[in-house]
């Protein structure tokens, strides 16, 4: 290891990683009360490892948010951000797998020491709440804890830390602002939204015509399938009509602004253009992270159901029921999932003018 003066310093492995402190942090409550339970060691270590990985996830997310503080996000920063989000996704996958290790403990094993844990609960994990805030889980759309604010279980200084994350801007906030700055929606006389509407209408007409001319469907089936195809009065309305989109935002059903949603759609449709490949990968990373957090919540809920059934959690929550609801309701980047509903086949894509295509390609001048 090199110091600032350019000299090398030495340090022992044990001291550098603080191994003694780390390995002395597993204090079994069951032993303290004179009723040792073998499986409690596993329970403690798994949860301590979770907290260590939470710390790393926070480290990555905070760095990615800083990349987007500037008005211009350069390609190199975007590439690094993608790498760090990919790492975050890998960590989340590992957290899901850790549940399998926990499940090597049987429900009866858990009951040997569960009564000594009250009122401790995973709900009191401050770092996990930080992760939710950094990602951008809307505060007003959280499931409440006995009707109280989600942060009520923490000290005032920790509550302020969580509030400050929202005040400074979450990852969702910064990504929304970044997308709003996408410059390719109307250039060189090319109106993306207008051309998209034409292509969309053409696609829907083709699909409806194919259904109505089918020899294998009854009139009732034709009517049903035609309605399933959708149209400009269904889920496409949120992208075709800004007023409808803004109304959905006010109702909490949309989180990205209208302009940001248009930009995300443009990036998804023209993802193969060189300059849009990194933005597309970045959006994909956000979707993948959202999926992995949801997977972790769901697996956690199933583990709790396996261990304690429908009993109340040690922290007083409804246990499995509460956890299962968070898996369904606490997704964050749902607007990016919704983009898939708005995609059209490559064969129907509006052709980009040469001027715009040139801007979307990398150039090298000798």
In a domain, 22, yes or no: no
**CATH code, domain with 73:** 1.20.58.480
Enumerate the β-bridge partners of residue 186. Answer: 191
Q: Count structural domains, the chain.
A: 1
Strand positions, DSSP E, 184-289: 186-187, 190-191
In a domain, 43, yes or no: yes
Q: Averaged in consecutive runs of 10 residues, what is the pLDDT profile of the chain (366 residues)?
A: 70 96 96 96 97 98 90 81 98 96 94 90 91 94 77 93 95 95 75 89 86 88 78 68 91 93 94 92 97 94 88 60 86 92 88 81 59
Phi, psi (5° rounding) for residue 8? -85, 140
**230 within domain boundaries:** yes
* Cis amide leading into 35 (omega within 30): no
Q: Does residue 18 lie in a domain region? A: no
What's the pLDDT at 366?
47
Q: What is the pLDDT of residue 12?
A: 95
Q: Does any domain span residue 78?
A: yes
Residue 149 domain flag: yes
What local confidence, expressed as pLDDT, does residue 295 receive?
Answer: 95
Q: Has residue 173 been placed in a domain?
A: yes
pTM of the shown model:
0.89
How many angstroms separate the Cα of 117 from the Cα of each of 44, 111, 121, 305, 316?
11, 11, 8, 17, 12
The bridge status of strand 186-187 relative to strand 190-191 is: antiparallel
Distances (CA, A) of 146 to 117, 124, 160, 318, 330: 20, 14, 20, 10, 17
Predicted local distance difference test score (pLDDT) of residue 236: 77
Q: Would 166 be classed as within a structural domain?
A: yes
The pLDDT value recorded for residue 205 is 85
Domain containing residue 261:
38-359
């Amino acid at each position: 290891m090199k110091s600032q003066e350019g000299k090398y310093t030495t340090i022992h492995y044990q001291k550098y990683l603080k191994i003694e402190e780390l390995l002395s942090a597993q204090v079994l409550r069951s032993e303290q009360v004179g009723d040792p339970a073998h499986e409690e060691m596993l329970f403690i270590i798994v949860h301590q490892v979770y907290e260590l990985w939470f710390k790393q996830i926070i480290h990555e997310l905070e760095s990615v948010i800083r990349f987007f503080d500037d008005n211009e996000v350069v390609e190199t920063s975007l590439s690094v951000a993608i790498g760090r989000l990919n790492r975050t996704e890998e960590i989340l996958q590992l957290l899901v797998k850790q549940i399998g290790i926990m499940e090597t403990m049987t429900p009866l094993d858990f009951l040997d020491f569960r009564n000594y844990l009250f009122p401790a609960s995973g709900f009191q994990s401050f770092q996990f709440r930080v992760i939710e805030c950094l990602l951008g889980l809307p505060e007003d759309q959280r499931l409440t804890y006995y009707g109280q604010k989600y942060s009520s279980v923490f000290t005032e200084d920790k509550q302020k830390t969580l509030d400050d994350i929202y005040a400074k801007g979450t990852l969702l906030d910064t990504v929304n602002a970044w997308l709003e700055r996408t410059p390719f929606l109307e250039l060189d006389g090319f109106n993306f939204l207008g051309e998209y509407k034409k292509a969309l209408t053409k696609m829907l007409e083709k699909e409806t015509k194919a259904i109505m001319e089918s020899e294998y469907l009854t009139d009732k089936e034709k009517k049903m399938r035609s309605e399933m195809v959708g149209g400009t009065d269904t889920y496409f309305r949120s992208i075709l009509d800004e007023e409808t989109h803004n109304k959905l935002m006010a109702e909490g059903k949309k989180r990205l602004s209208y302009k940001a949603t248009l930009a995300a759609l443009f990036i998804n449709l023209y993802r193969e253009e060189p300059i849009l490949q990194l933005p597309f990968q970045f959006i994909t990373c956000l979707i993948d992270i959202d999926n992995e957090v949801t997977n972790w919540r769901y697996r956690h809920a199933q583990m709790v159901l396996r261990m304690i059934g429908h009993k109340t959690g040690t922290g007083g929550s409804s246990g499995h029921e509460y956890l299962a609801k968070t898996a369904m309701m606490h997704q964050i980047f749902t607007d990016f999932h919704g983009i898939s509903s708005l995609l059209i086949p490559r064969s129907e894509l509006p052709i980009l003018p040469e001027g715009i295509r040139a801007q979307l390609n990398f150039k090298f001048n000798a």
